[in-house]
Each structure stands twice: as structure tokens, then as C-alpha cells.
Structure 1
Amino acid sequence: MTDTSSYPECDDLAVTVSDDGVVVRVVIDRPEKQNALSETVLSGLSDVLRAADQGPARVVVIRGAGGTFCSGGDLESMASHIGGGPQAYRSGFSGLAELMEQLIETSALVVAAVEGHCLAGGMGLAAACDIIIATADATFGTPEVDIGLFPAQALVPIMRTVQEKQALKLLFTGEYIGAETAHEIGFTSEVVPTQDFESELDELIKDLAASSPVMIEMGKQAFYTQRDMDFHEALSYMREIIALIAMSEETEAGINSFLMNEQPDWKQRGQ
């Protein structure tokens, strides 16, 4: 792994970067708290994404320490806002919403590597990532309804990922579902046997990182932009996007490499 000095330090996150800077792995390192999303974790993840955008990163992987992805928001942090009035609550809950927006907008593809529990705000965090790979024994749910709290922020990416009626049942019952059920309702990209998780994750990362950085950045932005358009508007927009991507030096290099039966040597972003 390469030097991580360009990435901010955070006591609750462990960050490693590949030698070429293309792959960034971030581990939420609060196993004693089931990797709950404290304000420090949320701001730390935001800082990592910001640093990744300033470098050559094409793939960012988020996972949790100790065999658990994330149990959701940190209730102790939430409790500190009791009695503080609406502005204190609004400020205290803004971190996750801002991070989920950033996950969509960042230039790199973001992979949620889910093991164990993926709950509440943690499920929202995963849903805001571009790709979700999970172990067969992973568990998903929005149990904050059990304490009278509606998963309002997590709902936004979840409802754009999961079949509507299945999502509504999940959000209002707080039930836990297994990885296979999560996959059936459209939440995960891939579910793999637990014993094969590391190798399957590495293979996925390798496949994603092999792509042109221009294609990744523009393709990701185009996908999320067209999602809310009607059919004809989206088709018109995507016609312009494919023309722009086709005009890039990276696509030219890719075509030439294909014709020469070689692997393309992509430029890094900003070169």
C-alpha cells in the first residue's frame, strides 16, 4: 500500500491506499460500538471522499471492522442533543444526509462491503454507495422505528434502490432481513459465500479499477442525473454524454489498445 499522508487522519477510521492511488479502502473502526456513525465517523468519511476526488482514486471501498458493517447512528451522540431545540437536532442529523449526497457526487465508484449487521443509518449509507457486495450471512434492517424514530434520511437512497412496497414494509416494521432477501428486493449488487468474501471483493475492485477514470466519472454522474428524467429527456441527455466520452483521449487509447490487443494505459484524473 502507498503513502496515505494525503488522506486526513481520523481515530475512528482506518484508511489504506493502493500503490498507484487508484483504490482507497476505508474501514469504520469502532467495533466496540458496532461501527455506529458518530459525527467523527461521518466527517471522517466525508474528508476521505474529498481527498479521493483530489487524487487518482477510481474506487473507494467502505466496510466495518470486526465483522460488522454499521449498526446505524450513534445513539449516544443523538442523546446529547436532547433539550437543545430544533436547530440542535437539525444540525446533529445533517451529517448523514451530507455524506450520502457526497457519495453520489464523488468521482470514484464507491463500494459498500457488507458483513454482519447493516442497520438503520448504516443501511442508508450502504444504499447511497454505487455497489453493494454482501456476505451471505449479512443482516439488513431499519430498527430505529423501535425507539420511535423514522428512518427518514436512510429512506431516500433505500427507496431509490428497493422495490417500493418491500421498502415501505421494511421501513415501517423495522424487521431484519437476510442477505438473500435483500438481494431479491434489489438492495444488493451481489451476495457471496462468507468464506469467499475477501477474494470476491478483491476481484470486484480489480474489475472496477481497470476502467477509464473519465468513463467512471462521467458515467457515474450521467447515471444519477438521468435517473430522475423522463425517457426522452434521458435519451437525449445520454446521447450527448456518449459523444463527450467518445471524444476523450482515454476512449481513443482504449480503442487503439483493443485494436492492438493490448491493455490500455489510462491517464489519471487531472493529467
Structure 2
Amino acid sequence: MTSVVSNDPLLRADLNGIATLTLNRPAQRNALSIGLMEAIIAEFDRIKEDAGVRVVVITGAGTCFCAGHDLKELRADPSRAHYEKTFALCSTMMQRIVALPQPVIAAVHGIATAAGCQLVATCDLAVAAEESHFATPGVNIGLFCSTPMVALTRAVSRKQAMEMLLTGEPIDAPTALRLGLVNRLAPTPQVMEEAVDLAVEIIAKSPLTLKLGKQAFYAQAELGLAAAYDYASQVMTENMMALDAQEGIDAFLAKRKPEWKGC
């Protein structure tokens, strides 16, 4: 979708609190090489400390979002150490998204396959082009999409995830929306616009509340019911003690717009 000419595997552009990260290997369908994954991790580490960034949008240059791992790079060094490094690096990258204080939105066009589908499933939100497709097709080449499975099974139902994993067959964008893999659909030319609109809607909220809420969302999901409620109650109490919660409630009662302080 982005057509900027650059040799960098990852591009970043900041505007009005939104950091847009563009996977920039269009000739390789934005395959996740070691260099690209390292660049993404490094950028997330910078964004984590950047109070000026409120939301992150991830998209891809060229005709697709991301085709997964770079298979040519994988096979160029058929050693166990190389494979372990590649998959561990990818897992680290995905976990950086979950740990990032800022919400992350995938803006998807073309295809998102294998680790590319994993990336969509890992992002907090996703906007997809109406013509886009998603798949975990590793089974077709003898390589089960085991790491993409981790994110996929946390985004859609187990049986739907299993069907995608066992058959390798792609699903279209309306199906991805119905299954909960993506949040919104848009015509291909308007995907980034829709993603930015979603980001702007989020930016209007308290940054502290968003940080607390995102962290709590993923933490409670790993707990049993009683432990989840105990944990969430503690988070609610902590949130209520924050100035932004007090300001938000007072503004609501006074029928005025809140002025967030981020604390």
C-alpha cells in the first residue's frame, strides 16, 4: 500500500500521536526476515518510551501486508541454531506488541499468511481491506504453523483456528471479520484512513487508562475466573485513584469534555 522508496526493511512515520510502521520488503511480500524482525523490536522499544506516541499502526509496502517468514532466508542456513534464532526472534517480536503500553492496529491489505496472519492476530486491533485474505498454510509445505497457532487460538475459536491450521486454506476478509480476527473492513484504498480514524478515536481517551486497560486485558485472560476478578478489581481500584479517572467522572457529571493529564 505504501510506495515510499527506501532500502530500510522498516519505515516509521509519526503524525498527531500515531506512529505508522511500514514493513518495507515489497519484493519479498514483506516477509519477516531476521533484519526486519530486529528492526521492529528495536522500534517497539523506542516507542515504549515515547510519550508522544499514543497509537501504533502497522501496515505493509506494496501489494500485501505480510507473507510470513522469509523461507529463502530460513533455508539458506539449515542449522538448528538458525531456526531456533528465527522463531525465538519472531516470538519476542509478537510479545513486544502485547507488552507495548500503546494500542497497536494492523492495517491489512492483500494477504496476511503464516507469521503475517500471526502478526494480525497479535495486534490489539485490525482493519482489513475487503479483498484481503488470511491463512496459516504451513501444513501445505510440511511446516505446521505452530507459532502462528499461539496468536490465532487467542483471537478466534479453537475449531476455526484448527481448520485454518489443518487445511491451510485461506479465509476472506468477511470471514475474518465474522470470526473475530479483524475488527473492521474497508475498501483497499481506504484501509489506512479507516485505521487512522480508529486510532484517532482511541487517542481521545486517557493515555493512562489505555495503558492500564491493555495490560489488564492480557493479564486477566491468562487467569482463572476468580483470580481474574480479584486482579481486575485491584486494577479498577488503582485506576480510580488516578487523576484521569477522577477528572473523567467529574467531567461526565458536569457534562463537559475531560482534560486528561496522563496520571
Instruction: Normalising by structure 1, report the TM-score.
Output: 0.89
SS at match of 1:149: coil
CA RMSD of aligned residues (A): 1.8
| 1:6 match | none
SS at match of 1:150: coil
Cα distance change on mapping 1:52 and 1:200 into 2, 3 Å: same
Q: Does 2:192 correspond to 1:198?
A: yes
SS at match of 2:62: helix
| 2:3 match | none
Runs of 4+ in 1 over 6 A off after TM superposition: none
| 2:60 match | 64
1:173 offset after TM fit, Å?
1.2
- 2:249 and 2:61 map into 1 onto residues whose CA distance is 41
1:144 offset after TM fit, Å?
2.0
1:130-149 → structure 2 map (5 Å cutoff): 130-149=124-143
Alpha carbons 2:105, 2:195 under 8 Å: kept: no
| 1:11 match | 8
SS at match of 1:219: helix
Of 251, 265, 268, the residue aligned with 2:245 is 251
| 1:37 match | 32
| 1:229 match | 223
| 2:175 match | 181
1:195 offset after TM fit, Å?
4.5
Alpha carbons 1:10, 1:44 under 8 Å: kept: no
Deviations 1:38-69 (A, max 9, x none): 11111111111111110112211100011311
Alpha carbons 1:81, 1:92 under 8 Å: kept: no
Which shows bigger deviation, 219-228 or 73-82? Answer: 73-82
Cα distance change on mapping 1:10 and 1:39 into 2, 3 Å: farther
- Count residues in correspondence: 257
- 1:202 and 1:103 map into 2 onto residues whose CA distance is 18
1:252 offset after TM fit, Å?
2.0
| 1:4 match | none
Alpha carbons 2:127, 2:182 under 8 Å: kept: yes
Alpha carbons 1:144, 1:151 under 8 Å: kept: yes
Of 88, 93, 101, the residue aligned with 1:99 is 93
Unaligned runs of 5+ in 2: 1-5
Q: Does 2:140 correspond to 1:123?
A: no
- 2:166 and 2:179 map into 1 onto residues whose CA distance is 16
SS at match of 1:118: strand
Letter in 2 for 1:252: Q
SS at match of 1:175: coil
- 2:190 and 2:33 map into 1 onto residues whose CA distance is 30
Letter in 1 for 2:12: V
Cα distance change on mapping 1:53 and 1:10 into 2, 3 Å: farther
Letter in 2 for 1:153: T
1:70 offset after TM fit, Å?
0.4
Of 71, 75, 79, the residue aligned with 2:75 is 79
| 1:3 match | none
SS at match of 2:181: coil
Deviations 1:186-237 (A, max 9, x none): 2111222334423322211111111111111110110101102122221121
- 1:198 and 1:27 map into 2 onto residues whose CA distance is 11
Q: Does 2:50 correspond to 1:50?
A: no
SS at match of 1:66: coil
1:10 offset after TM fit, Å?
8.1
